[in-house]
């Protein structure tokens, strides 16, 4: 007589319409499963004659109690706020965090999604910057849950990930403020146009005409890019009277270099950044900035991921949006500004 095929945990999970981890919870009388679901699984186990192989089962469903956090640039002062919040949320659930720096590089963002399972983590919080074309398809194919911190792109409603981002374009708040205080020659200082391009588009869309000489694209989002931008604007025949910096580190670099050059902020040039990191309050002058709530966003992204990892039943993916807030400080107070001739 032919041997009867051995029933596996996968067979039980398939018949019950649940995941392997849920079957394991039922067998081990673990938390995170409803009494109704547990009873149904145990009934199917008995009906199918399933005999658990404890060691093999453990290898299949054991969680690592680790999640990964992929960020674009650890030099950006907003990243520690996000990383700290993710780590604290993870700790509260008994998880550790493995951090990955993608450098805002398209290849590394895709590599992270393809290779993250090799890090032996149960889930991933990712903050994309380059947004390569195949990013969404790789997220949808991922073997582990993913939570996305999104500051710049309109993502597909079908994306199989929880998404936390901004309710409206933070760059528009910068431009509305600078125009409201009467600045007319507004410059833009940022990283390459394809990096967080929505922030540049907010600049472009807020003006009737863009003067190309007032746009400076540096190599990255760092303090040095800000200093280089300051030199560039200072050497123009007609300097701007305001600068929208793509982030706070660039804004701080501009203020620092202008101080050396004798340019007065905000009298000569008003400056506003984005992120509202701590350093904007310890510079002289203090720098106006749009808060993107890094702490809150990081915490919620981690909470949604952990909830999905620990949930015995699949749930709809969540879309949560925070409202950015403009924090006006000394660098863009409405004040009389002077021409270059006045300074000389």
How do beta strands 319-322 and 162-166 pair?
parallel
Neighbouring C-beta atoms of residue 256, cutoff 10 Å: 15
Contacts of 136 (CB under 8 A, 6+ apart): 155, 156, 159
Does 160 lie in the same domain as 18? no
Q: Token pair 């660039």 is at which residue?
A: 250
Report which of 273, 290, 248, 297 is spatially closest to residue 69, judged by C-alpha positions. 297
Work out how many domains the chain is built from and give that number. 3
Q: Which domain holds residue 217?
A: 170-292+328-343
19 domain-assigned: yes
Does 72 lie in the same domain as 33? no
What is the pLDDT, as a whole number, of residue 31? 66
CATH number (domain holding residue 40): 1.10.260.40
Q: Consecutive sets of 10 residues in the chain, 344 residues long: mean pLDDT of each?
A: 67 88 77 83 86 50 83 86 95 93 91 89 93 92 93 86 89 96 96 81 93 94 95 97 96 97 97 94 96 93 94 84 94 64 43
Cβ atoms of 170 and 199 within 8 Å: the answer is yes
Contacts of 42 (CB under 8 A, 6+ apart): 26, 27
CA distances in angstroms from 245 to 44, 215, 225, 329, listed in the order given: 61, 10, 10, 15
Rounded Cα–Cα distance for residues 340 and 240 (Å): 10
Cβ atoms of 82 and 294 within 8 Å: the answer is yes
Helices (H), the chain: 9-16, 20-27, 35-48, 54-61, 78-92, 106-115, 135-141, 170-180, 197-206, 223-234, 248-261, 294-310, 340-343
Does 246 lie in the same domain as 122? no
What is the pLDDT, as a whole number, of residue 73? 84
What is the pLDDT, as a whole number, of residue 57? 44
248 domain-assigned: yes
What is the pLDDT, as a whole number, of residue 215? 97
147 domain-assigned: yes
1 domain-assigned: no
Cβ atoms of 128 and 150 within 8 Å: the answer is yes
Rounded Cα–Cα distance for residues 277 and 292 (Å): 9
pTM: 0.73
Which tokens belong to 69?
Answer: 């956090």
What is the pLDDT, as a whole number, of residue 336? 53
Which tokens belong to 50?
Answer: 């399933």
Does 72 lie in the same domain as 158? yes
129 domain-assigned: yes
Rounded Cα–Cα distance for residues 28 and 18 (Å): 16
What is the pLDDT, as a whole number, of residue 58? 41
Rounded Cα–Cα distance for residues 122 and 145 (Å): 7
Does 180 lie in the same domain as 154? no
Q: Token pair 């992270």 is at which residue?
A: 112
Rounded Cα–Cα distance for residues 54 and 239 (Å): 72
What is the pLDDT, as a whole number, of residue 4? 55
DSSP secondary structure string for all residues of 184-199: -SEEEEES-TTSSHHH
CA distances in angstroms from 114 to 44, 45, 63, 129, 144, listed in the order given: 35, 35, 19, 17, 11
What is the pLDDT, as a whole number, of residue 344? 44
Rounded Cα–Cα distance for residues 77 and 194 (Å): 21
Rounded Cα–Cα distance for residues 115 and 29 (Å): 33
Count the residues in the chain. 344
4 domain-assigned: no
CATH number (domain holding residue 110): 3.40.50.2300
């Amino acid at each position: 007589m032919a041997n009867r095929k051995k029933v596996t945990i996968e067979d039980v999970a398939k018949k019950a319409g649940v995941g392997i981890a849920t079957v394991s919870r039922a067998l081990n009388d673990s938390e995170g499963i409803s009494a109704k679901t547990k009873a149904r699984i145990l009934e199917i186990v008995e009906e199918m004659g399933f005999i658990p192989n404890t060691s093999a089962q453990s290898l299949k469903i054991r969680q690592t109690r680790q999640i990964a956090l992929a960020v674009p640039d650890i030099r950006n002062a907003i990243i520690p706020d996000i990383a700290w919040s993710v780590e604290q949320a993870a700790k509260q659930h008994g998880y550790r965090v493995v951090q990955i720096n993608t450098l805002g590089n398209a290849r590394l963002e895709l590599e992270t999604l393809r290779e993250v399972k090799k890090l032996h983590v149960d889930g991933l919080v990712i903050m994309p910057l380059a947004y390569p074309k195949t990013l969404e398809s790789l997220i949808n194919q991922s073997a582990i849950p993913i939570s996305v911190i999104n500051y710049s792109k309109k993502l597909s409603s079908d994306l199989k990930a929880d998404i936390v981002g901004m309710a409206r374009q933070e760059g528009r708040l910068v431009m509305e403020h600078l125009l409201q205080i009467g600045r007319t020659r507004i410059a833009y200082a940022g990283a390459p146009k394809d990096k967080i391009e929505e922030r540049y588009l907010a600049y472009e869309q807020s003006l009737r005409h863009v003067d190309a000489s007032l746009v400076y694209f540096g190599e990255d989002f760092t303090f040095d890019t800000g200093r280089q931008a300051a030199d560039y604007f200072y050497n123009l025949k007609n300097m701007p009277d305001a600068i929208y910096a793509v982030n706070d580190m660039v804004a701080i670099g501009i203020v620092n270099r202008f101080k050396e050059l004798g340019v007065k902020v905000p009298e000569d040039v008003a400056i506003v950044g984005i992120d509202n990191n701590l350093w904007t309050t310890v510079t002289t002058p203090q720098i106006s900035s749009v808060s993107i709530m890094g702490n809150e966003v990081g915490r919620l992204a981690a909470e949604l991921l952990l909830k999905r990892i620990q949930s015995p039943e699949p749930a709809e993916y969540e879309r949560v949006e925070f409202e950015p807030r403009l924090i006006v400080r000394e660098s863009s107070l409405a004040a009389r500004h002077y021409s270059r001739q006045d300074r000389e």
